[in-house]
Structure 1
Amino acid sequence: MMRGWSMLAAVALASAWLCGCGDTRRSLRNEEPTIIAWYFEDVAHGVPRRPEELRLVDGSERMLRIAEWAEGSTIHGVREQPRPLKARCARFPLLKTMLGRGQAVVMADSGLLAPRPDLPNDEAELVEPVVDAENQDRRLLDAIVLSMAKAYESEADAYLRAARDARIDLDRRAGGSLWNPAKR
């Protein structure tokens, strides 16, 4: 009788392992990189979102870790967003103005920003530090998310593609023009 139970247990464990139920990687699930990218880009572009949205019912452990980080910290009873996200939120109204005036453009290959190539020098000197700070915080946010997710290469690629697509879409909605240096 005991031998039958141990054989049954072995078969159950093997079945769970073969079905992926015993996966110890705790990797991001297929849709999670896209959900994460759009959440952070929406927030940075002034779209009202709540960190609780990242707490999926069947979310991975890595998704939960990112959701906890997205909640930020509480200082004197006030919730503060994570620093790179807070900086991007504060900078967005100025960027929106620059995008709308055509002073900054959205690079088609990366979703990063650049001063419009033919901008007069005096304007470019004003736009460049803002665009550089934004790009630095975009890259920092990407690095933090990928580090916290302990992302495998395919997960990192999916996240970076989704982040680029979200940035391009949201920057264009803010009045930005797409710029492709290869087609210049």
Structure 2
Amino acid sequence: MSAEPFAAHESEPGIHLPVPPPEGFTVDDLFTLPDLPPHTELIDGSLVFVSPQRNFHTLVNDLLAHGLRLTVPGHLRVRREMTVVLDRRNAPEPDISVIRADADTGLEQTRFRAEDLVLAVEVVSPDSEARDHDAKPLKYAAAGIPHFWLVEMAEGNQHPVVRTYELDPATKTYTLTGIHHDKLELSEPFAVDIDITLDALRRL
């Protein structure tokens, strides 16, 4: 482990934060540092702590995970909020991942590898907007994850808007394949048909 012991934050007694090593944290640190908050991510060697989530975030995750599980083929599985190791200094936690079934090694598993995923989904929160729009898609694409969805709250009636992307393997960048407002209907990475209206959220 490369990190130093926790140090008290001088201006806020009672809050203890790990002191980063000069080269930044690694995946090993993420899984061995004591008392990290739940859902801590590692981005470019920095620990990222998650703020309290809006009801929208939780309900959209429920809606999409349930909808995906209705049509996911037998060789794939749907998982929520699991760490995905992209490289030594990057281990984000997508809101939803669709993984290959043979990557599921049991109930005590704590992480997946980038090559295990066929889809990563990020639901944008106010504190994660820059990461979800910029850093994460670039890193998911560079790691070769074939599909990426970005979900946001629409202005006005606050229904989910899902932007779907597919990886161009030649350039290792994502290409926008659709913007979905009321119904998420796709044939890739498998057949998907999910009602994403505001009414669908309110029924949960």
Name the structure with the higher strand share: 2
Q: Report the TM-score, using the length of structure 1 for normalisation.
A: 0.25
* More RCO (CA 8 Å, sep 6+): 1
